[in-house]
Structure 1
Amino acid sequence: MGEKILGREDFLKAIAEALQPLDYVYGMWQCGSSAFKRVDQWSDIDIVVDADDHKVRDVFPTIDKALEALAAIEISYECPQPMSEGAYQKVYKLEGISRFMVIEVCVVKHSGSEKFLQREIHGEVLVHFDKENLTEVKPIDEEKFYAQLNTRLENVEKLFNIYVLIKFLHSNA
């Protein structure tokens, strides 16, 4: 008999089955390529998990164990600070799995307002479990969204210009 080839659904199922019984985890859903129905051989897995505020980082060891039951973790990286307010991220690459099959897990604080559910930004999220109707999608405030987007673009442009100047000064030194 041949070895079973592990795929997206195997990893998602293992993570969901490990997290759902925990009383401090309230939901798990996918965004990214899955939510936009654009999964292909280059797609990663983007997962959001909602957990008690004081237990956010406790979710990662549970996920580690669930993934290690399927394949060894080749490398992982836990962001040292929140990627956005109340959201912590860890990225996994497993041994023997496509180099594109990276698993990105974002754990959000239960009390936090950002759940990455805006349809226009994150697609039609695929819910694995939701204990408190957290994944009810609310309409986006377009005015606020575009104001934030413009601010972000201005900040990126300023940062880019700083690095262009540094490169110019360095190359002419």
Structure 2
Amino acid sequence: MLKDRLRPGDTVVDATMGNGHDTLFLTRCVSPGGHVIAFDVQAAALIETQKRVPAEMTTLVHSGHETMRAHVPMELHGKISAIMFNLGYLPGSDKTLITRTETTMIAVKEALELLKPGGLLTIAVYPGHEGGVEEGRSIAEWAVTLEPRRFEVQHLRPINRAAAPPELWLVWKRG
């Protein structure tokens, strides 16, 4: 969905950098001339991501996604084409270091302010890890409160898989 919506020159945010796979995907979507701002609280995530992405197209921020608004330059507020969240933990690392409902909810609310009209917020939720059910429930409770005239919300999840399959939330900013 993102690949079809993004254009060369767009600015996007990877709110949960991880090992840099999503950051790399986003840089490819906005090349040439685009920029990706990516966030993670773990230094290991920045190190792994630096190995994968072109430095001239990325700003890697060693901070939680709840600080997004402070780290995205003011002149880009309301001009971000897409913001991607991939909640949970850094694959291949300590599974106790996870995204937290409190900071995630701050971040997704700020994300809507940063998006341009027509921009897309994606949130991948993994209910199978500790804290994932609570995080998913909070996203769902928040999403249903979004004003339909300003946002379109879709929720995708597999229905033929057992044991807490991942879920995807899509929020389009109308305008």
Q: Name the TM-score, length of structure 1 as normaliser.
A: 0.30
Q: Which structure has the higher relative contact order (CA within 8 Å, separation 6+)?
A: 1
The structure that has the greater radius of gyration is: 1
Q: Name the TM-score, length of structure 2 as normaliser.
A: 0.30
